[in-house]
Structure 1
Amino acid sequence: MRSFTIQVPASSANIGPGFDSLGLAVNLHLKLEVTEADKWEFEHRSPLLGPVTNYEEHFIYKIAKETAARHNKELRPCKVVETSDIPLARGLGSSSSAVLAGIEIANQIANLSLTAEEKLQYGTDIEGHPDNIAPALYGGLVIAAITDDQETHWVRLPEIRSDIVVHIPNVELKTEKARGVLPEDYSRGQATSASAVSNVFIAALLSDDYSLAGKMMEKDLFHEPYRADLIPNYHLIRNSAKEYGAYGTVISGAGPTMISFVPKGDGETIADQMRRILPDYEIKALQVDLTGLKVD
């Protein structure tokens, strides 16, 4: 019986002004041990994963089946043992990690020989935007765009010399609700200003000017002003993290988690200080995941 493992990192999208186009992979992971079997079976071994009922209703199975069907292939049955330290519905890309896992199961079991670009395109087709899929696939900080021909293009930035601190509340926020508060249209002036902020943010990262990058990541005009009221302790977290030395703090994805860029080596110190202010939060000092999707 053939067996293999799949590991996919969590991801934080938007990073302030990079709305629907910028994402960062971090070292929380979804892991699957897949073994060909006589029948389909999913087993969850993590408190962050819900109970398994019918395998046909399992999200990862649905993605795998859909991916195989795109190539007119059938899936041979497998037993899938799943563990995860990515919290669900917290803005850390749990859905995208599962999407990539399903695509990769189909790729392996149905012998699809998918390229990385095809995996990115399939994942983007499912998610509707590439900002979580791209970093989960490639690792690191990735800028991606869907052009008018519906192709997805991406660039991975050089290594980010910053620690990451995430502030995870014990509440969920569905992406649909977070998108529902956004305006349908932006004026030309708003779009111009918001795009300029995003451009300076990326330029500052490329120039290793993390102080400026931190200022720009907190100046978003596309989504943060509209979502701030949905995020518990939004201003407290921003202001306190800055006081303790963070470059900048923004909503992770659609929230409710918030993510801070902090000086290299200071992650655990700043996380510990934030835990004293928010004892009911799960606050983690993380690193950027540079590997992305991994199959063994």
Structure 2
Amino acid sequence: MLKVKVPASTANMGPGFDSFGMALNLYNEFQIKETDKDIIFLENGEPSSIPLNENLIYNSMIKAFQKHKYKFKGLYINVTKADVPLSRGLGSSATCIAAGIKAANHIMGNIMPKQEILNLATEIEGHPDNVVAALEGGFDVSLVENNQVLYSKITPPEELVFAALIPNFKMSTLSGRKVLPDKYDRKDCVFNISRAALLISVFYNKDFEKLRTCFQDKIHQPYRGESIKNLNSIFETAKRFGSLGEFISGSGSTLMTVIHKDNIDFLENMKNYLKTMEVSWEIKLLKPDCNGTEITVCQ
């Protein structure tokens, strides 16, 4: 039996559309093994209501098996922990893709090199930011060049904590992309390029007073933000409580606020404020995960 642990991830992080991703210490966990017959898909030991053709873990495994012409008789997949909320911009689909490919590779005898795993995960997901972070951990800048995923990983500053504000409504990546324009002005592209470059420098040099500027964006947040009620007032309140910067996590609906680890009052202050909202919000204090997907063999 394989135990697969995969971290959540926050993507885009303001100006890094489809290229910035960071793993967080919130996890989905899976038990997976090859069997002699049948396909069994469970959630906490109970039969899942998700059809196999919509099961991203299973379908990711199948794609890996097909690439290497691996024949299997049956599979057992049990989602034992599902702490990453669905359709909230925290990489839930990336956890399933990463788990499926890594488990399939282990079953096949670890014949897939890292590059092939990254390429296949990105092919399934459609963009590299979340899956690279889920697989490799840390803060990753990633892109696709000639059908090959290239990425560079850095360790985020240990002084920073990421407070995820998670509402009780979903936003799918597909619907989040439909609201984006097909073309952008040059000045908007320069706006994003400069801030994306500055964010990496700030992470290295710990110039935290510049973080709010780094998370500014004109590519996706102005359009997706219209679907998140009270976004501006929530960000302004977070700033008042000491947040160093704010951004929409992935395509939403989660909002991410970045605070210094010594800001011990932020959590309670923000919780009390969010209780005044019409929509129900949950807040989680998260740290970067630097390990990525982990597989252990158990009985």
- Hey, what does 2:203 align to over in structure 1? 205
1:278 and 2:274 correspond: yes
Structure 2 residue runs without a partner (length 5+): none
Check the 8 A contact 1:75/1:109 in 2, yes or no. no
- Hey, what does 2:69 align to over in structure 1? 72
- Secondary structure, in 3 states, of the residue corresponding to 1:132? helix
- Secondary structure, in 3 states, of the residue corresponding to 2:156? coil
Check the 8 A contact 1:55/1:61 in 2, yes or no. yes
Check the 8 A contact 1:12/1:24 in 2, yes or no. yes
Check the 8 A contact 2:155/2:290 in 1, yes or no. no
Check the 8 A contact 2:156/2:203 in 1, yes or no. no
- Secondary structure, in 3 states, of the residue corresponding to 1:21? strand
Shift in Å, 1:291: 0.9
Render the CA deviation track for 1:121-161: whole Å, top value 9, x for unaligned.
Answer: 111111111110111111111111112x1221111113323
1:242 and 2:267 correspond: no
- Hey, what does 1:107 align to over in structure 2? 105
Check the 8 A contact 2:17/2:219 in 1, yes or no. yes
Separation in 2 of the partners of 1:54 and 1:78? 15
Separation in 2 of the partners of 1:265 and 1:6? 33
- Hey, what does 1:126 align to over in structure 2? 124
Check the 8 A contact 1:76/1:109 in 2, yes or no. no
- Hey, what does 2:251 align to over in structure 1? 254
- Hey, what does 2:151 align to over in structure 1? 154
Separation in 2 of the partners of 1:55 and 1:197? 42
User: TM-score if structure 1 supplies the norm length?
Assistant: 0.92
- Secondary structure, in 3 states, of the residue corresponding to 2:129? coil
Shift in Å, 1:113: 2.0
Shift in Å, 1:56: 5.2
Alpha-carbon distance change, 159 to 77 in structure 1, aligned in 2, over 3 angstroms: same
Letter in 2 for 1:155: S
- Secondary structure, in 3 states, of the residue corresponding to 2:225? helix
Q: CA RMSD in A?
A: 1.8
Letter in 2 for 1:33: Q
Separation in 2 of the partners of 1:21 and 1:50? 36
Shift in Å, 1:112: 4.4
- Secondary structure, in 3 states, of the residue corresponding to 2:224? helix
Render the CA deviation track for 1:35-61: whole Å, top value 9, x for unaligned.
Answer: 333332111029xx9943544542211
- Hey, what does 1:45 align to over in structure 2? 44
Letter in 2 for 1:288: P
Identity %: 31
Separation in 2 of the partners of 1:199 and 1:177? 28
Shift in Å, 1:76: 4.1
User: TM-score if structure 2 supplies the norm length?
Assistant: 0.91
1:60 and 2:50 correspond: no
Query: Which range is displaced more, 156-165 or 88-97?
Result: 156-165
Letter in 2 for 1:269: D
Render the CA deviation track for 1:216-249: whole Å, top value 9, x for unaligned.
Answer: 21x2111111111112321122111111111101
Identify the match of residue 137 of structure 1 among 135, 144, 158.
135
Shift in Å, 1:193: 2.1
Letter in 1 for 2:294: K
1:33 and 2:31 correspond: yes
Which structure shows the higher strand fraction? 2
Separation in 2 of the partners of 1:194 and 1:59? 32
Check the 8 A contact 1:163/1:262 in 2, yes or no. yes
- Secondary structure, in 3 states, of the residue corresponding to 1:69? helix
- Hey, what does 1:269 align to over in structure 2? 265
Check the 8 A contact 1:232/1:256 in 2, yes or no. no
Shift in Å, 1:187: 2.2
Query: Which range is displaced more, 178-187 or 49-58?
Result: 49-58
Check the 8 A contact 1:244/1:273 in 2, yes or no. yes
Render the CA deviation track for 1:136-195: whole Å, top value 9, x for unaligned.
Answer: 111111111112x12211111133230110000000011111111111011222212221
Alpha-carbon distance change, 76 to 293 in structure 1, aligned in 2, over 3 angstroms: farther
- Hey, what does 1:21 align to over in structure 2? 19
Identify the match of residue 213 of structure 2 among 212, 215, 238.
215
